Structures are given as C-alpha cells and as structure tokens.
Structure 1
Amino acid sequence: MTGGAGALVQALLARVPQPLRAAIDAALDDGLPEQPYQPGRTERPHAGIVFDLSARARSVPSVMSAENEALAAGLCLIHRGWFWEAHEVLEALWQGLPMNSAERHVVQALIQHANARLKQEAGQARAAARLDAIAQDHLDEAQARGWKPDSIHDC
C-alpha cells in the first residue's frame, strides 16, 4: 500500500461507520486517563476502557470488518496518539485471527505502526524506523496473500 501503515490507518478509519466511531469516541473521551501511557515515563495502567475493549475483543470471533469494535477502537486510538493503548486493543483482535492469514498480517502492521510511533515519541528514531520497516513487511505479505485495502468487509 502506498504510504504504508499510516496511510492505511487513515483509509480504514474513514470507513468506520459514523455511529460506531461516535460511540467509540465517546467511550474513549469518558474512559481514557489524562495522558497516554509511555513506557518508562508514566505509570502503567492496569484497568480501564482499553482493558475493557481488549477483553470484549477476546470474547468474540475476530473478523476484519469496519464494524469490528476492536479494529475501530485501535484505529481511533492511533489517530488520537494513544499508541500503547492501540497496541493492546489491536493485539486482542490479532490473536483471534487465523494464523498466517492476510488479515493477521494487516493487524500486525497496524500494531507495529503504533509501536513505531511510541518509539518515535520516546526519541528512539532508529527503533521507530525499524518498526516502520517491519510494518511495511507485514503489509507487503498481506498483499502477497491477496489482501487489498478494499477487501476488509465494508472497510
């Protein structure tokens, strides 16, 4: 995909149905702490909306759909700059996807993109670049397996 995982985040986020996006935004507005978690710099959360979203994602079959709450929430969190939190939610979705599937590679690309942004914020440019390359590798693998950005159900 041209533009890598960052462009993918924007493209997929634009396809999340507005009622779902509004519900997620409202839940995040009410449930997120004052600032994102930054490993080694802020206190790690152990409860809250991110953990609730992750638990719900683990309790339902993983489907790559614009209506998938975990996918939509992960995209919203990345868009807001809550990268560690996005990773937590997207990982729950990733774990339920079929091994070696194109969709699993797409979600892994989103996770690595979130990790790269977290490293970038921490001033670790080389680590961020390495993670961006890994994200691109996952996107390339997804496309090699037949995935196209428009192939996500309604997404």
Structure 2
Amino acid sequence: MDKVGPVRLLPERPLPRYAYLPGKFPHPVRDPAGHSFGAGNDSQLADASEEFVWGADLFNQGYYWEAHEAWELLWQQAESATPQRLFYKALILLAAAGVKLREGKPRPSARHYGRAAAHLRAVQEQGGLETGLTITVAELLEHIGQVASVAPPRSDEPQAVFSFLLLPSCRR
C-alpha cells in the first residue's frame, strides 16, 4: 500500500531515500552512503523560488533536515537583518524542531519553536513580509503557539509532525 500524504509541490523532483535522523541514518552529506553525498552545495542558486518551494515540499512530507538544507542557502544569501532573512531562519528552526520531534526529543523541539516564534515576531516588528506562502506570519505564529511538544511515535519513515502545511501562494 502506498503512503498517502500531502500533495507534492514539485513531483518532478524525487524525494530523498530517507528523512535524515541523527544516529539513525548516514549523514546525508558527510557520509559516502548519504542520500546527498557528493551533490555539493552550490554557492549560488539557479532558481531561488524553486528552492523555496522545494523546502516547503520536503517540510510537508516530513523531510525536516532536508528542508532545512534547502532553505539554508536562501537564508545565507538574504541581506543581513532583513525580514526575509529572519523568515528563512524561522523556517529553518521549524524544520529543526521537526527533526527533534521525530527523534523523540520534545524539549529541544520546544526550544526551536520558541526561537522560530521570536524570529517571526521580529518580522512583524519590522513591518511584516509577503511570505510567498498561503499562510501569513501571524497565522504561522498562531500555529507554533498551538504545537504540542509531545513527540509522535518513532518511525523510520518520513512523517509529518505538524498540523499545518507550507503551501506556496503561487507556483512559479
């Protein structure tokens, strides 16, 4: 039976062989058996909007470490102290929280939620941001505030641990 999950945003891009969990699977980049070993990390993105959507696709499917990696270069390339950079950092922290929940570590996950929420509040204080998602910064903050810090049952399969999806406001 096929796993039924959220609709894929970029179905033409294959998902990684596994959703990385520290100590459970080979490190995706550093280990020769990793799903992204040798793929390299380009210092420039050919299509930042596609990479943003790819991160959302990975996040929605329960590939949190991989979503973090997709968004990290966007974060690095965003201008310092801008709402856009703060927003990317908040998404990266949410992805890190997903990894910690999947590891069965609710307290570290809650710390990541708190840091993500702080970054989103800073985005609001700087006048907000068009997120590129169907969810606003305020709605994302509300969802973070309602996230239970209870770890889901452990599984080797990718699993979504959040009650919300990150959906692009328009496909590019």
State TM-score, norm by structure 2: 0.63
Q: How does 1:1-155 map to 2 (within 5 A)?
A: 21=9, 24-29=10-15, 32-33=16-17, 35-46=18-29, 55=42, 58-60=43-45, 68-148=49-129, 150=130, 152=132, 155=169
Letter in 2 for 1:116: A
The alignment-based identity, stated in percent, is: 26
Q: Is the 8 A contact 1:50 1:85 kept in 2?
A: no
Alignment length (residue pairs): 125
State TM-score, norm by structure 1: 0.69
Give, in whole Å, the separation in 2 of the partners of 1:136 and 1:50. 32
Change (3 A) 1:28 1:81: same
Q: Is the 8 A contact 2:55 2:67 kept in 1?
A: yes
Change (3 A) 1:75 1:41: same
Give, in whole Å, the separation in 2 of the partners of 1:140 and 1:51. 37
Change (3 A) 1:77 1:51: farther
Give, in whole Å, the separation in 2 of the partners of 1:103 and 1:54. 21
Q: Deviations over 1:38-62 (max 9, x none)?
A: 111111123656985953xx32488
Aligned to 2:81, the other structure's residue is in SS state coil
How far apart are residue 28 of structure 1 and its match? Answer: 2.4
Unaligned 5+ segments in structure 2 are: 1-6, 134-167
Aligned to 2:12, the other structure's residue is in SS state helix
- In terms of fraction of residues, the more helix-rich structure is 1
Q: Deviations over 1:18-48 (max 9, x none)?
A: 9xx3xx222124xx21x21111111112365
